[in-house]
Amino acid sequence: MGELLDHTRHRKLADSIEKMLCSGEAVLPAEPLAFVKAEVRADSELLRTAYKTTVVVMAREHAQIRLGCIRFYQYLFLRSALFRELAVLDFQTMVELCIGVDDVNKPLPPPKRFARELRTEALRFVQLAHGKFGGDYKQVDLAHTFLRRRHKVDFEATQEASRAEQDATVRRAAAVVRQHADNCRKVQAELGRWQLEIERSLDELTAAFPLAVPDITAEQDAGSAASASESDEELDDGQLVIDALERLAPVSAQAAAAAAAAAA
C-alpha cells in the first residue's frame, strides 16, 4: 500500500511538472510551481523525479517547451545542491538541447522566435551558473569555456540581449494593459450612449404596466357589466406594454452588442 501511494505521489509530481513546462506561459505558473516546490523540499527522491521529468520534457522538439524547461531547470539549479549534483552529471545535454552547439545535426527546434529566446536564456543561465558555482563544478566551468572558445560566445553581449528581451517583454505586457484599459473606456462610452434610451423605454413600460394588469378586487366588485368598449381599452393598454417592450428589446440588444464589440 505504501509503495502504491509513493508511486502515485511521484506520478502526480511528474504530471504537474510536465503540465507546467508545457503551459507556454511567459513565466512559470504560480500554482503548480508552489506545489512542486513543496514536494521537492519534502523528499529528495521527489527532487530526483523532478530532475528526470525536466530532462525528458526538455528533449521535445518544441522551442517554447524547452524554454519553460530551462527556466525551471535554472530555478532548481540555483536553489538545490542535490539538483546541481544531478544536473552536472549530464550538463552537456542541457547545453545541446537549449543552446544548440550543432546546427547541422542537432539544431534548435521551431518556432524560431522561441528558439532565439531559448538560446539567450540558456546562455544567460550558463553565465550565471559559472559565476556562482564554476569553481565548485568542473562541468559548468568546462561548458562555459567550451562555449566561449569553441563557439565564440560573447557572454557580455548575451547578457545585454537578455536584458533587451526582458525590456521588450515588459513593453508588450504594458501594451496589453493599455489596450485593455482602452477597451473598458469604449464599453463605458457605448453603454452611456444607450442609457437614456433604455431609461425612457423603462419609464414607458412602468407607466403602461398597471394599465395592462387590472385590479382583480375592483374587477370583482364591478361584476360582469364590462362592455365591449372596455375590453377594447384593456387591449389598448396591453398594447402599450407590448410597444414599450418592443422598443426596449432592440435598444438593449444594441447596447449589449456594442459593449461586446468594444471588449473584443
Per-residue pLDDT of 77-106, as tens digits, reads 999 999 999 999 999 999 999 998 887 778
Query: CA-CA distance, 70 to 101, in Å (whole number)?
Result: 16
Q: pLDDT at position 151, please? A: 83
Q: pLDDT at position 221, please? A: 55
Residue type, 199: E
Quick check: 197 and 205 in contact, CB under 8 A? no
Q: Which of 41-45, 93-97, 105-109, 257-261 shows the lowest per-residue confidence on average (mean pLDDT)?
A: 257-261
| pLDDT beyond 90 at 13 | yes
Query: CA-CA distance, 62 to 49, in Å (whole number)?
Result: 22
- What average pLDDT does the structure give for the chain? 80
Closest CA to 79 of 31, 142, 20, 33: 33
- DSSP element (H, E) containing 110: none
Residue type, 79: R
The pLDDT-based confidence of 67 (bands split at 50, 70, 90) is very high
Q: pLDDT at position 246, please? A: 62
Q: What is the mean pLDDT of residues 50-68?
A: 96
Closest CA to 56 of 4, 1, 18, 87: 18
Nearest 5°: phi and psi at 102? -135, 85
Closest CA to 58 of 12, 106, 105, 130: 106
What pLDDT digit, counting tens, does each position of 158-212 carry? 655 556 666 666 676 677 778 877 887 877 777 777 777 777 777 777 777 666 6
Whole-prediction pTM: 0.61
Residue type, 7: H
3-state secondary structure of 127: helix
Query: CA-CA distance, 210 to 232, in Å (whole number)?
Result: 16
Residue 204's Cα: distance from chain center in Å? 46
CA angle 76, 67, 140 (to 5 degrees): 50
The pLDDT-based confidence of 142 (bands split at 50, 70, 90) is very high
Closest CA to 91 of 135, 39, 143: 143
DSSP 18-70: HHHHTS--SS--HHHHHHHHHHHHH-HHHHHHHHHHHHHHHTSS-HHHHHHHH
